[in-house]
Amino acid sequence: MRRLLPDPGETTVEEQLDSYQPWEHAREERPFVAMNFAATVDGRASIEGRSGPIGSDTDTAMLVGLRTRFDAVMIGAGTMRAEHYSGLDRRLVVVESGPEGRVDLPALLRSLREEGVRALLCEGGPTLHGSLQAEGLVDELFLTIAPKLSGGGAPPRILEGELDDVIPLELAWLLEEDGELFARYRRR
């Protein structure tokens, strides 16, 4: 794997994640929150309803490695229905509407923080991502861009829903292997 930015050179998933310590940036009122997504070059976040066919084995290794840097993993109900989530060695939080409607995300993050979660990795999906961004609750975004085109009308993008404003990001790192790009963005 090559690191294109910053400081170009050879690297590995382990080396990149070794010094990544998101728990150090926890806030008083919520954990540090990072999102992880994989998308095709034409911007699709699923192929035939699943994210699995998008990324390579290295993308899987990056996701598995990332999980080890976080106290808990969070997903939306749609992702829970679409993907197989088993054998996770981290606490799994599933965001699912109840009798009172949609989950109050700031309140959920506050209670996770009170329970000792300092860093939270949200693995999607696009609807939950949109809600979290709209409420200013996301610090970083890990995005894998797989060198493939999938087409199709219905597949979601990595973020669905309205935002009040455009959210500016800065590129914290960019890695490459076999034409697959691994970007890490920070909210500016």
3-state secondary structure the chain: CEEEECCCEECCHHHHHHCCCHHHHCCCCCCEEEEEEEEECCCCCCECCECCCCCCHHHHHHHHHHHCCCCEEEEEHHHHHHCCCCCCCCEEEEECCECCECCCHHHHHHHHHHCCCCEEEECCCHHHHHHHHHCCCCCEEEEEEECCCCCCCCCCCCCCCCCCCCCCEEEEEEEEECCEEEEEEEEC
Could you say whether residue 78 binds ligand NAP (CB under 6 A)?
Answer: yes
Could you say whether residue 75 binds ligand NAP (CB under 6 A)?
Answer: yes
Could you say whether residue 17 binds ligand NAP (CB under 6 A)?
Answer: no
Q: How far is the CB of 103 from ligand NAP (least distance, A)?
A: 4
Could you say whether residue 93 binds ligand NAP (CB under 6 A)?
Answer: no
Nearest CA to 37 among 16, 58, 17, 54? 54
- Give whichever of 43 and 179 is closer to ligand NAP, judged by the CB atom: 43
Could you say whether residue 66 binds ligand NAP (CB under 6 A)?
Answer: no
Q: How far is the CB of 21 from ligand NAP (least distance, A)?
A: 23
Could you say whether residue 34 binds ligand NAP (CB under 6 A)?
Answer: no
Q: How far is the CB of 52 from ligand NAP (least distance, A)?
A: 8
Could you say whether residue 120 binds ligand NAP (CB under 6 A)?
Answer: no
Q: Which stretch, 11-19, 70-78, 84-92, 170-178, contacts ligand NAP (CB under 6 A)?
A: 70-78
Chain positions contacting ligand NAP, by CB under 6 A: 37-39, 45-46, 49-51, 54, 75-79, 82-83, 95-97, 102-103, 105, 123-128, 131, 156, 160
